[in-house]
Structure 1
Amino acid sequence: MRTHAPRTSAIVATALAALLALPAASSGPEANATIVGDVTPVAHFPGIGGSEVDSDGERYLFAGQANLRDDLNRQNVEEGQHGGLRIIDLDTMSVVGELACPGTDNYVRYLDPEVYNTPAGDREYVVMAHHGNLCTADALADDPNTRPAYGGFNGVMVVDVTDKTVPSIVSLVGHDSAHTVMPHPTRPYLYILPGGLANGTNVDTGRVSPTGIVDLSDPLEPRYVQAFEHNAQGCHDLGFSHDGDHAFCAGLGEVQVWDIAGDAIEDPNVVGTIVNPAIQFAHNAVVSPSGRYLAINDEAFGFHTCSGEAADLYGSLWIYDISVPELPLLAGRIAPPDHPDDQGFGTLYDAGPINGWADSWCAAHNYNWVPGNDDVIVASWFAGGITAHDISNLLAPELIAHYMPEDGVAWSGHYYAGYLVTNDMVRGVEVLDAPEVRAADPTWSAPEEPGRPGRPDQPGRPDQPGRPDQPGRPDQPGRPDQPGQAGPSGRSVTTSLSGVPTDASAVAALPRVDRSALLLPEVLPARPEAPRQPGFGGGFCVLPGRPA
């Protein structure tokens, strides 16, 4: 186990936190778009290279932007490029702050101030992971835990966003490969994820795709705890149980279940594995509000079909019952949407509108659950746009909202603070009003100011007794293994109303049903070899084999 604390003095000298001319939002889709349900574009913040976007859950969005070329390919960092962090105020629908830091991929996560703070407890922070970044290239050059990439070095920057108009880098930590970063929900630790495709292997040190574990008790002085090696491919993303005792590492070929309770937070134990032969690349793993379910998306870059039919298997969003975390059971699946130009398939190399990779995809990418409700999940699907599904019947998910611009490549799709939010690789950030999705959020109440954009008719929902505008769906029996959910009162809006308790012991006591036989065919659809672009290393994409 090794420790390392980066030099904050060098960071201050190289943190190019210059504010740019902050653009105003434009309204309207500005392009032809497929829309399902009551979805209205509210604000649009254009930009190439949209990556992950996070929120404080109340007012602000924190949107990463990579320095992608116009053809969406990555490039080495240079002066004058776009990219960095944009802070968007949902009250005024405007960009209020920007950190000009060109880099790849500039993956952003907001840190809960109750967990991550200074001793005074008066600051707010986000973290941003990158393979290479202009703002950190000099400061990370001597970090023993990093490697060079894209004209810079792999690492994570800690950004003080207390003053939203002047975000500033306050510390850095390097790692072998910093594709994404995930903060622990209850204790001040960061997990830096290499990418899940063995892209974190460090030949010089002999480390194999490790996860970087960082103690962030002091955001100004991160402590690099260790490079945790656990399989050959590493994690692309990491999800957590709400109590913080378990983590779910998604990567090529499998999702590992880690015990990280107590001292294991610095040295995890692998206690379970999810292997689904229909998942080509397990990209992310996100736990539901009650803690009962885990959503795993398949970023099936090798090959997937985009017909919009339920039979489309690859590229799906898969739902697992994790009420016993060490023994996950397959519970449901959401199929990809159709492709906007009826291309019908997506691969790493084909005749896509731009250059034939992400712009041809309709596979699931970044996503989240509506707070306090296991029944509604929001997701991005690259060219397939952003969706919201009601999964109260896990065997028959219902599409309740869909926004798919014909020129869009949605990297991220989330529900934040009453809105659908997408960060698009081509179009930038878009904020969408979707009343039916918002009505499923028991934590939401309208702001006091009546003129807040996009919500003039949302007076608040103090009781939300059961959606009187939804008189019930006798054809939607719900989850048969969950008592109290099949009645005629309409779609549930809270975990308690839906019969899913929030207490961990009660969740563990619920009946468990393995639906693998219903959801996985005996013979999987053929998966042809997919030639890779030269920029991805050439050769053919190796898809994980079906387990014996």
Structure 2
Amino acid sequence: MAVAALVSGGLALTSIGTSAADDGELLRESQSEECANADAIAGAGDNFEENCLTESEVAEIEESVGAASILPAGETAGTSNLSLVSNLPKTGPFATTSALNSDLAFQGKYAFAGNYNGFTVYDIRNPRSPQAVTQVLCPGSQNDITVYGDLLFLSTDSPRTDNSCQSSGGSVANPAHWEGMKIFDISDVRNPRYISAVRTDCGSHTHTLVPGEDSVYIYVSSYGPNAAAAYCKPPHDKISIIDVPLDAPEDAAIVATPVLFPDAGNQGGNTAGCHDITAYPHLGLAAGACMGDGVVIDISDPVDPVVLDQVRDPNFAFWHSATFNNDGTSIIFTDELGGGSGPTCNPTVGPVRGANAIYTWDGDSLEFASYYKIPREQANTENCVAHNGSLIPVPGKDIFVQAWYQGGISVFDFTDPYNPTEFAWFDRGTFDATGTIAGAWSTYYYNGYIYSNEIQRGFDVFNLRDPRVAPAKGVRYDELNTQTQPEF
């Protein structure tokens, strides 16, 4: 296994200030009480720290969830049509609990898996026996990952002393600090070469590729403005757009910073950016999960996106991500209530918070259709909430596979957006008794199999055998970045 870069210092992560709608009943910033799982989530990152649970809140959840309904540690459960066919544990500098596995991208016979310490390339030619071929050590929290031709893009969302893979943790108040987008050459996939970097305000939490004629544009989503920060001062109601010339990626630069919320969105006069944007180039549209708002955006001119409609949901605390159905008439928005650290899959939180909200889109406006949340109760040591997923390419059907952190993975049909129905799932028992952040971060369908990046347990491959998805087995992509949604 090749290691492309080494660092002497450990991974240093900083808290990201939340700007999500306040959810004072259950998940809120610790005020008068100590965070019950502070040690387990310290420095953990996708907005984990700022919405931890207090001791009294954990006790309330524990009282409401019967032990008999909880899957014990070390055990697995699921439907017979969904089977785990392979697992590759984390290795080397990625094996620690602080090195969280994150997002996934695909190209040809390779899967590219982000980790807070860098990324791993897997050969998935035989999905039942994947092989790790390259591990690149390049710390900088999140490491949201995409690929495009010979290029790989990596988001850094924590202040670093510089833009190298040998950097250490920095301070947002220091004008010399760096965070943003890193670009690698993967023409030799076994030996990725770091070629350039672009600083972006508030770093890069996630990013989205929008193909152009001679360039690929990167929509950088970032948030968490801080008056003391050198490059992330409020108001922060914009995205950064990077132009990467395909024949000279080393010249990548920011070409626009459009303000999506001139009226300050849903933040009481101080927006904080977007968490995630999914582009659907076939329709010239994008859907954004922008803190307190869900939006549909016209991206027919990639450097001049225009918000077409904007919705708010009283049950949503933290708009996290969005996915169109194939014909662009429905959109799944996810609510990452608690930032991914909380045990929100229980009767106390209920079925409509920390869930998906499905909206219909008629070309002019968004209309609420329904909520979907996994029905299985999880232990109070299991962080569980709606997270990253993708369509399964079944023509004429809308079927979604999704990660739910320690809630496992779920497959549901939302062809009728008013009546989403689950028909496959897989779950593991709690990772440990201390509330360590774990579970499926990203779970995507690619060329016949489901791939999942499990935060602590490693790289999972699942086989879904069900007549409802049989047509998807014949759909093949040369490349897949789920936030650049393909038509099938």
Question: Common fold, TM-score beyond 0.5?
Answer: yes
How far, CA to CA, are the matches of 2:227 and 2:290 in structure 1?
Answer: 12
How far, CA to CA, are the matches of 1:377 and 1:228 in structure 2?
Answer: 31
What letter corresponds to residue 260 of structure 2 in structure 1? H
Matched, 1:85 2:110: no
Matched, 1:61 2:141: no
The corresponding residue for 2:144 is 107
How far, CA to CA, are the matches of 1:260 and 1:159 in structure 2?
Answer: 26
Provide closer, same or farther for how the CA distance between residues 128 and 308 of structure 1 changes in structure 2, counting only shifts above 3 A. farther
Provide closer, same or farther for how the CA distance between residues 138 and 375 of structure 1 changes in structure 2, counting only shifts above 3 A. closer
**DSSP-derived class of the 1:441 partner:** helix
Alignment of 1:146-545 (within 5 A): 153-176=178-201, 177-185=203-211, 188-195=216-223, 197-198=224-225, 206=233, 208-209=235-236, 210-218=238-246, 219-231=249-261, 232-243=271-282, 245-262=284-301, 265-301=302-338, 305-307=344-346, 312-324=351-363, 326-341=364-379, 343=380, 352=381, 360-373=382-395, 374-406=397-429, 407=431, 408-436=438-466, 438-441=469-472, 443-444=474-475
Provide closer, same or farther for how the CA distance between residues 443 and 133 of structure 1 changes in structure 2, counting only shifts above 3 A. farther
Asked if the contact 1:19/1:98 (under 8 Å) is kept, the reply is no
- What RMSD over aligned residues (CA atoms) do the two structures have, in Å? 3.4
Shift of 1:304: 7.2
Shift of 1:440: 4.5
Provide closer, same or farther for how the CA distance between residues 153 and 88 of structure 1 changes in structure 2, counting only shifts above 3 A. same
The corresponding residue for 1:130 is 156
The corresponding residue for 1:10 is none
How far, CA to CA, are the matches of 2:287 and 2:240 in structure 1?
Answer: 15
How far, CA to CA, are the matches of 2:383 and 2:232 in structure 1?
Answer: 36
Provide closer, same or farther for how the CA distance between residues 193 and 205 of structure 1 changes in structure 2, counting only shifts above 3 A. closer
The corresponding residue for 1:7 is none
Shift of 1:338: 2.2
TM-score by length of 2: 0.68
How far, CA to CA, are the matches of 1:184 and 1:445 in structure 2?
Answer: 20
The corresponding residue for 1:17 is 4
Shift of 1:52: 0.6
**DSSP-derived class of the 2:273 partner:** coil
Greater radius of gyration (CA): 1
Shift of 1:275: 1.2
How far, CA to CA, are the matches of 2:440 and 2:132 in structure 1?
Answer: 20
Asked if the contact 2:122/2:134 (under 8 Å) is kept, the reply is yes
How far, CA to CA, are the matches of 1:204 and 1:134 in structure 2?
Answer: 13
Higher RCO (CA 8 Å, separation ≥ 6 residues)? 2
Q: Where in structure 2 are there 5+ consecutive unaligned residues? A: 8-72, 91-96, 262-270, 432-437, 478-486
Shift of 1:238: 0.5
- Percent identity over the alignment is 24
Shift of 1:258: 2.4
Shift of 1:426: 1.5
CA shift digits 1:109-158 (9 cap, x unpaired): 122x3xxxxxxxxxx222110124879535999xxxx9579x96211111
Shift of 1:372: 4.8
The corresponding residue for 2:87 is 44
Matched, 1:96 2:133: yes
How far, CA to CA, are the matches of 2:122 and 2:227 in structure 1?
Answer: 32
Shift of 1:86: 0.6
Instruction: Give the length in aligned residue pairs.
Output: 372
How far, CA to CA, are the matches of 1:384 and 1:414 in structure 2?
Answer: 16
Shift of 1:313: 0.7
How far, CA to CA, are the matches of 1:136 and 1:327 in structure 2?
Answer: 43
What letter corresponds to residue 441 of structure 2 in structure 1? W
How far, CA to CA, are the matches of 1:400 and 1:385 in structure 2?
Answer: 14
How far, CA to CA, are the matches of 2:226 and 2:103 in structure 1?
Answer: 19
Provide closer, same or farther for how the CA distance between residues 233 and 36 of structure 1 changes in structure 2, counting only shifts above 3 A. same
Asked if the contact 1:132/1:152 (under 8 Å) is kept, the reply is no
What letter corresponds to residue 99 of structure 1 in structure 2? V
How far, CA to CA, are the matches of 2:356 and 2:419 in structure 1?
Answer: 13
The corresponding residue for 1:33 is 76
What letter corresponds to residue 427 of structure 1 in structure 2? R
**DSSP-derived class of the 2:257 partner:** strand
How far, CA to CA, are the matches of 1:170 and 1:200 in structure 2?
Answer: 32
What letter corresponds to residue 293 of structure 1 in structure 2? S
How far, CA to CA, are the matches of 1:148 and 1:418 in structure 2?
Answer: 47
Asked if the contact 1:242/1:291 (under 8 Å) is kept, the reply is no
Asked if the contact 2:292/2:312 (under 8 Å) is kept, the reply is yes
How far, CA to CA, are the matches of 2:152 and 2:173 in structure 1?
Answer: 23
What letter corresponds to residue 380 of structure 1 in structure 2? A
The corresponding residue for 2:17 is none
Asked if the contact 2:208/2:279 (under 8 Å) is kept, the reply is no
Shift of 1:221: 1.5
Provide closer, same or farther for how the CA distance between residues 258 and 391 of structure 1 changes in structure 2, counting only shifts above 3 A. closer
How far, CA to CA, are the matches of 2:257 and 2:371 in structure 1?
Answer: 34
Q: Where in structure 1 are there 5+ consecutive unaligned residues? A: 1-15, 21-29, 67-82, 114-123, 344-351, 353-359, 447-501, 504-548
How far, CA to CA, are the matches of 1:307 and 1:245 in structure 2?
Answer: 39
What letter corresponds to residue 379 of structure 1 in structure 2? Q
CA shift digits 1:390-423 (9 cap, x unpaired): 2233333222221111125211111122111111
**DSSP-derived class of the 2:472 partner:** coil
Provide closer, same or farther for how the CA distance between residues 206 and 35 of structure 1 changes in structure 2, counting only shifts above 3 A. closer
How far, CA to CA, are the matches of 1:205 and 1:86 in structure 2?
Answer: 30
The corresponding residue for 1:529 is none
TM-score by length of 1: 0.61
Provide closer, same or farther for how the CA distance between residues 162 and 377 of structure 1 changes in structure 2, counting only shifts above 3 A. same
